[in-house]
Amino acid sequence: MLTSYLYTSICLLGLQTATAQYTTDPTAATIREIEHLYLDAANAGFFSAVTPCTNYVNPQGTGPNNNLGRQTAAEWVRTAFHDFVTANIYTESGGLDASIGFETTRDENVGVAFNDALTFFSYFINNRVSMSDLIALGVVTAVGNCGGPHIPMRGNRIDATVAGPSGVPRPETDLQTTLVDFSNAGFNEDDTIALTACGHTMGGVHGNTFPQAVGTSAESSTNADGRVPFDETVGVFDITVVDDYVHWTGDKGGPLVTTPNKTVQSDLRLYTADRNATMNRISQGGAAYFASQCSSLFQRMIETVPGTKLTTPVDPTATTNLKPYNVYLAVDWKGNMVLSGAFRYVQVAGAAAAPSTLTITLIDRAGKTTTTTATAKISSADTGTAIWGPTHSYTFTLSFPATVGVSGLSVSGQTFAFQDTMFVNAGLSHVSPAPMQFSTTTAMNTVTAFSVNTTVAYLYTGTAPTSLTATYAIPMPQTGTVSPAMDTSTTATLALVGKTGPYAIYSASTKKSLSAKQAYGTSVDVAVAGQSAGVVFFKPFNAGA
């Protein structure tokens, strides 16, 4: 049994816990992970870094530091821009692929933003959510949490393993070259101007990295890096930067417009490239128009992944935001099954109020709706306000004979598919010792020798296979970037250890020395030899069983 300490810590934290065996579709696992990071209210991990929006988290482990004149939300948006803009849609190369991690020593990538962002994101990487997905999620979260528009969030990006081409425009870059760089990434002149205005509504230019643009006179004890903001509302995603520029008020469009050093007036060169037509149009369109333009341009930016098929979007503004999470299936030696977990309901604007209870009905293995139900009460734990509204949690437990099995749950008129043909048996699997409580601090780098027992139930007809193969995906440090790479070289052979009801039970214990950071990012797939995996993306260190 997994220790109760781990289970308790997971429940309290409500983070890093999205795991289970719903279907064997890896894409569904990616969506589930993104939903968890993006939508869960108690997810102190991901969006707390940009809460409040002016916050700066030093991901080297020293926590918030708001005296540097730095802003995590702005760094996340800038990181995505620098990663994406070297894309070439004609040669189908580059794009949002986390290659920025290998490129931080280039002159065109001056500043700590990129390693700040990637180091923070590296606590969340796993086999279903890549670093490039996390960079995209960083934009979506930062913009959404700072008052900006909803941006559809898809997953499945593939991380680069080497540096990509150069070609990020610098403030010194001439207009023609800048427009060619953006054009190769699929953005015309109008798009380029609007995207830059959308990017330059948060954060600013730092004197310690761009003294040629802003000097160092802004440096102070509360602004150690000497930031000069783009507009007066540095921590809000809004149209102010555009209106300031068009009406020549406030910060007049920011330092890359107003700097006396003509060579680095890159925003002024861009905004006047079409005689201010784009900036005037946005200003006249007003706040809602700015938001919708930015949403679609940011979506195009984070979906510039030539040759990659992305998942369907996670859409928090959909009103059917009832989703299962942390669902575990167990079968004991007497042939009794237990399905336990939770449903999450995000009460987005316009959605019905959260019900006080949910009735959860079992659909058996044959697809027939049964009379086995559970009443899940709204829980005060794991409840709070996420970016898109109050988030509520309902925990449930359903018990039934293994001969009945499960293929889905019916809740509030919706059906959620599960599979019970092969699953990590939550009741019999365990990890020892429990990893330290999850946090995004360097304490998580301490290495522990873990013993991981993976016990799998397999529904067999005829002769049960003699063994199963487990393949573990573990985030490993890689040379040249702070972004880990997923390593799948650790495997284990699960031996047949017994039978219960219609199931054969297989088990193996694997010893592995891992940091807690690696442990939380570890998942396992299990397959019958020669077949595709029947268990996909089970996170052994997060299992509450």
Query: How big is the chain, counted in residues?
Result: 545
d(CA 117, CA 470): 32
Q: Smallest gap, in angstroms, from Cβ of residue 297 to ligand HEM? A: 8
Stretch that binds ligand HEM, among 93-101, 198-206, 314-322, 523-531 (CB under 6 A): 198-206
Phi, psi of 372 (to 5 degrees): -80, 115
d(CA 168, CA 116): 19
Of the candidate residues 95, 111, 502, 544, the single one contacting ligand HEM (CB under 6 A): 111
Of the candidate residues 206, 323, 517, 539, the single one contacting ligand HEM (CB under 6 A): 206
Decide: is 196 part of the binding site for ligand HEM (CB under 6 A). Answer: yes
- Of 369, 362, 358, which Cα lies nearest the Cα of 322? 358
Decide: is 36 part of the binding site for ligand HEM (CB under 6 A). Answer: no
Q: Smallest gap, in angstroms, from Cβ of residue 275 to ligand HEM? A: 18
Return all residues near 85 (Cβ < 8 A) that are at least 6 apart.
167, 168, 169, 181, 182, 185
d(CA 524, CA 170): 43
Decide: is 430 part of the binding site for ligand HEM (CB under 6 A). Answer: no
Decide: is 45 part of the binding site for ligand HEM (CB under 6 A). Answer: no
**Beta carbon nearer to ligand HEM, 42 or 202:** 202
Phi, psi of 351 (to 5 degrees): -85, 160
d(CA 481, CA 121): 13
Helix (H, G, I), strand (E, B) or coil at 174: coil
CB burial of residue 366 (10 Å; 0-12, 13-18, 19+): exposed
Decide: is 204 part of the binding site for ligand HEM (CB under 6 A). Answer: yes
Bridge partners, residue 398, by sequence: 339
Return all residues near 304 (Cβ < 8 A) that are at least 6 apart.
84, 87, 89, 95, 96, 185, 186
**Beta carbon nearer to ligand HEM, 70 or 323:** 70
Q: Smallest gap, in angstroms, from Cβ of residue 145 to ligand HEM? A: 14
Of the candidate residues 27, 209, 336, 509, the single one contacting ligand HEM (CB under 6 A): 209
- Of 409, 295, 419, 316, which Cα lies nearest the Cα of 22? 419
**Beta carbon nearer to ligand HEM, 86 or 347:** 86
Q: Smallest gap, in angstroms, from Cβ of residue 100 to ligand HEM? A: 13
B/e letters for 1-33, b = 16+ CB within 10 Å, e = fewer, are ebeeebbebbbebbbbbbbbbbebeebbbbbbb
Number of residues that bind ligand HEM (CB under 6 A): 28
Residues 303-342 touching ligand HEM, rule: CB under 6 A, are: none
Q: Smallest gap, in angstroms, from Cβ of residue 290 to ligand HEM? A: 14
Helix, strand, coil share (%) of the chain residues, nearest 5:
30, 30, 45
Q: Smallest gap, in angstroms, from Cβ of residue 174 to ligand HEM? A: 10
Stretch that binds ligand HEM, among 3-11, 29-37, 164-172, 400-408 (CB under 6 A): 164-172
**Beta carbon nearer to ligand HEM, 74 or 354:** 74
**Beta carbon nearer to ligand HEM, 70 or 539:** 70
Q: Smallest gap, in angstroms, from Cβ of residue 84 to ligand HEM? A: 8
What is the CB neighbour count within 10 angstroms for residue 286?
Answer: 12
Helix (H, G, I), strand (E, B) or coil at 520: helix
Site mask for ligand HEM (CB under 6 A), range 254-273, x = bound = ------------x---x---
Paired tokens of 134: 């996390």
Q: Smallest gap, in angstroms, from Cβ of residue 86 to ligand HEM? A: 13
In this structure, what is the dihedral angle of CA atoms 297, 301, 306, 310, given to the nearest 10 degrees? Answer: -90
Helix (H, G, I), strand (E, B) or coil at 14: coil
**Beta carbon nearer to ligand HEM, 232 or 381:** 232
Site mask for ligand HEM (CB under 6 A), range 63-102, x = bound = -------xx--xx-xx--x---------------------
**Beta carbon nearer to ligand HEM, 180 or 404:** 180
Residue 480 contacts residue 493 (beta carbons within 8 Å): no
Q: Smallest gap, in angstroms, from Cβ of residue 110 to ligand HEM? A: 7
Q: Smallest gap, in angstroms, from Cβ of residue 196 to ligand HEM? A: 4
d(CA 268, CA 81): 19
Q: Smallest gap, in angstroms, from Cβ of residue 399 to ligand HEM? A: 51
Decide: is 205 part of the binding site for ligand HEM (CB under 6 A). Answer: yes
Helix (H, G, I), strand (E, B) or coil at 458: strand
**Beta carbon nearer to ligand HEM, 111 or 405:** 111
Q: Smallest gap, in angstroms, from Cβ of residue 107 to ligand HEM? A: 12
Decide: is 114 part of the binding site for ligand HEM (CB under 6 A). Answer: no
**Beta carbon nearer to ligand HEM, 111 or 521:** 111
Decide: is 195 part of the binding site for ligand HEM (CB under 6 A). Answer: yes
In this structure, what is the dihedral angle of CA atoms 363, 365, 370, 376, given to the nearest 10 degrees? Answer: -40
Of the candidate residues 150, 200, 365, 539, the single one contacting ligand HEM (CB under 6 A): 200
Residue 89 contacts residue 304 (beta carbons within 8 Å): yes
- Residue 239, amino acid: I
Of the candidate residues 59, 149, 199, 316, the single one contacting ligand HEM (CB under 6 A): 199
What is the CB neighbour count within 10 angstroms for residue 414?
Answer: 12
Decide: is 223 part of the binding site for ligand HEM (CB under 6 A). Answer: no
Q: Smallest gap, in angstroms, from Cβ of residue 441 to ligand HEM? A: 22
Query: Quick one: which H or E segment has residue 473?
Result: strand 467-476
Binding residues vs ligand HEM (CB under 6 A): 70-71, 74-75, 77-78, 81, 111, 113, 169-171, 178, 195-196, 198-200, 202-206, 209-210, 266, 270, 301
